[in-house]
Amino acid sequence: MKEKTKISWTALRYENETNNIQLQIGLAFITGCILVGSIVFKNYLLGIIIVISAILIKYLKKDESEYIPIEIDNRGIRPSTIRTYYNKIVAFIRWLEYYNHIEGKLSSKMTKPPIPKYEDERALTDDEVSKIIASITLYSRRDDFLYARDLVIISLLIYTGIRRGELLGLRISDIDFQTNTLFINGKTSKSKKSRYIPIHFSLLTQLKLYLKEREKRKTQCEMLIVSSQFDTPYTVHGLKSWVKKYAELSSVRFHLHRFRHTFACKLAKQNADIVSIMNVMGHSTTRMTEQYLRSIKAENSRVFIQNMTF
């Protein structure tokens, strides 16, 4: 019987000096099985490429019988995170196979994690959204620019459902006031697909007010959302601080992605068909869109049931 490859846990730590964020990656090879452990990360793809490229190429270029299918250790990790790990790892292993860094069809032997089932509510209630908007008014009303910018941020989130990267990647030129549409560049999107989103009249008003405040400050930056202190684009760190600040001021526990869920659920409750929701959200399939509608409870169908006739 051939001796199996056994490698003990290897932990690598990367530290981002600017944001003081530590990226810890633990990888284990036990009888050829890769276990991805607890990862506190800023950029999981960076860590996966650095670690797996160094270890897989060295240890997995063996006969296929010497290792078993790759699995992911799910201890203490959310199902959605496990699926994210899987998608990134399998893509990298397929790359290794394509360029003959490893032989065989290892990727086909990897067990795909099930689609996560969520029972917790993700969409914000109308009351929660009102509290966040009220906290913006109370905190930033004395600063016209800050007030206008922060209202634009939350308006973009609740009326377009765009992702964090899409929000930060918006340029002034992406706004078409003739057709009242917002262009989402695929280069800034997770889906890599460009799309146009109709602009809600409330968002349109906030955008015009914000652009006037930009003109008063003589802001030259081409990016739509900019720093309140400098003529520079708003950053990921700045947006995280924005969320933390208004979560504390409003006493509403939220993160940016909850606005995306809220947007999708609102459209569904307004009888928008799932294909339309899929397109405006930038999803590839309706299955992805359905995951965003899990906050809609059976009680919401009461009015439709009452209106049924035969």
Measured between alpha carbons, how far is 95 from 271 in angstroms, rounded to an integer?
Answer: 42
Give me the percent of the chain exceeding a pLDDT of 70.
63
- Mean pLDDT across the chain: 73
Looking at the structure, tell me whether residues 39 and 185 fall in a common domain: no
Q: Please give the pLDDT value at position 199.
A: 93
Structure tokens at 158: 């609740």
Structure tokens at 258: 């909850």
Residue listed under structure tokens 């078993």? 68
Nearest CA-CA partner of 134 in 150, 120, 122: 150
Q: What digits encode the pLDDT tens for the residues 34-86?
A: 333 333 333 454 445 444 544 444 444 444 444 434 444 445 566 666 677 67
What are the angstrom distances between the C-alpha of 214 and each of 16, 144, 145, 223, 237?
32, 10, 7, 11, 21
Measured between alpha carbons, how far is 197 from 172 in angstroms, rounded to an integer?
Answer: 15
Looking at the structure, tell me whether residues 139 and 282 fall in a common domain: yes
Looking at the structure, tell me whether residues 145 and 281 fall in a common domain: yes
Q: Please give the pLDDT value at position 120.
A: 46
- Domain with residue 137: its CATH number is 1.10.443.10
Looking at the structure, tell me whether residues 150 and 15 fall in a common domain: no
- Weakest-pLDDT range from 145-149, 165-169, 287-291, 295-299: 295-299
Domain count of the fold of the chain:
2
Q: What digits encode the pLDDT tens for the residues 222-264?
A: 999 999 999 999 999 999 999 999 999 999 999 898 999 899 8
What mean pLDDT comes out for the span 170-175?
96
Q: Please give the pLDDT value at position 46.
A: 46
Question: Do strands 195-198 and 181-184 pair parallel, antiparallel, or not at all (unpaired)?
Answer: antiparallel
Q: Please give the pLDDT value at position 15.
A: 32
Measured between alpha carbons, how far is 277 from 271 in angstroms, rounded to an integer?
Answer: 10
Domain stop point among 42, 76, 109: 109
Measured between alpha carbons, how far is 238 from 223 in angstroms, rounded to an integer?
Answer: 14
Looking at the structure, tell me whether residues 148 and 249 fall in a common domain: yes
Q: How many CA atoms lie within 13 A of 145 on its CB side?
A: 15
Looking at the structure, tell me whether residues 137 and 285 fall in a common domain: yes
- 22 versus 185: the higher-pLDDT residue is 185
Range of the domain at 27: 7-109
Domain stop point among 79, 109, 139: 109
Confidence grade of residue 197 (pLDDT, cut at 50, 70, 90): very high
What mean pLDDT comes out for the span 164-172?
94
Strands of 181-184's sheet in order across? 175-176, 181-184, 195-198
Handedness of CA 251, 257, 261, 267 (dihedral sign): positive
What mean pLDDT comes out for the span 20-40?
31
By the 8 A CB rule, do 116 and 80 touch?
yes
Measured between alpha carbons, how far is 232 from 153 in angstroms, rounded to an integer?
Answer: 16
Residue 26 has pLDDT above 60, yes or no: no
